[in-house]
Structure 1
Amino acid sequence: YTPLDPTYFFQDSWAAKHLFHLKPEHHYDVGSSAKTMGILSQFVPITMVDIRPIELKLDNLYFKEGSILALPFEDNSIETLSSLCVVEHIGLGRYGDELDQFGSEKAIKELKRVLKIGGIILFSVPVDTDNKIYFNAHRAFTRNYILELFNDFRVLDEKYHYGTKVFDSYDSSMGFGTGLYMLKRVK
């Protein structure tokens, strides 16, 4: 069989489907896979923000060096935004960022700041039975906690990846998985 990480396979396919249907004039991404954004940039121009510079050049893919904790954009300025499996790492020091027990929450606050009212975010994060930290890796959250952090957003789509399957609803009894959220800012 072909070696494949099911998390990124499902997540990236899900994001591509939504971005294709949204058809924004320009899309912005914070910290997601450069490989994924490179592929998606072939049908929509994308500006990526990351603390790690990208040395490669590709038509329709633009790069800004920056932090998810201080995005280089004005308030309410972005129509479509993505951040796929990123915020769970913020504040743990794994990527050179400072230790901060509220790093994930601060990152979400910053993503919300730059998104226009009516704007769409494609967002993914590990989910689990409780909010947890996996040592030297990432955090995981409950569905309710994530949706509380996005309380001024409406859920347009949500999927949950557990093992090798994708489900339409969160099931905490399944333990660790990945939540995929398409959210619209309503206020």
Structure 2
Amino acid sequence: MNGRIITLVSVLGLALLGSTQAHAQQTGSIGASTSPPIGFVQFCRDSPDDCDNRTMPRVSIPLTEASWRTIVKINADVNREIIAVTDQDHWGVPEVWSYPVDGKGDCEDFVLEKRRRLIKAGYPAQTLLITVVRDQKGDGHAILTVKTDRGDFVLDNQVGKILAWKDTGYRFIKRQSDENPVRWVSLGGVDTGTVAASR
């Protein structure tokens, strides 16, 4: 039953993507290099094999019915399987980035697991970008930006539906570079709440 629902959502979602209004466009204007989050630095120190420090060509995922279905399934699976818990409650410290191997994690851990599974499914690392935003409450939050040939989409543990970046209502702060995922670039604090209101 769940498989049928995911397939239906995938097909309907891809049909919607065919319209001009549904195209996501790229995530705002990419600015200068900026410092990575301290948790990301710690993650790369602990998991160096998952932090490939080399320049890669800029690419995007061709968004087909099959690729969209895979993205939807992995997003739904991780959101369903992982229990959201703060690092303070989980580890007794304010900030730890890690894979949720015990089935628990905060927003960064959801992102890391989705990214890992998508890379394993064959998607290029430079199309799967950890992104730091401010949510509607002004709190810091991590999401996964997926670069496709139809624009940038967001995988989020707070929202089940995959949205175009400009439809999230978030303020975009910074993300991994799409040329070297160890480096980070500023997104200028573009407020998608304002973008949505102006349409």
| TM-score above 0.5, yes or no | no
Instruction: Give the structure-2-normalised TM-score.
Output: 0.27
More strand by share: 1
Instruction: Give the structure-1-normalised TM-score.
Output: 0.28
More helix by share: 2
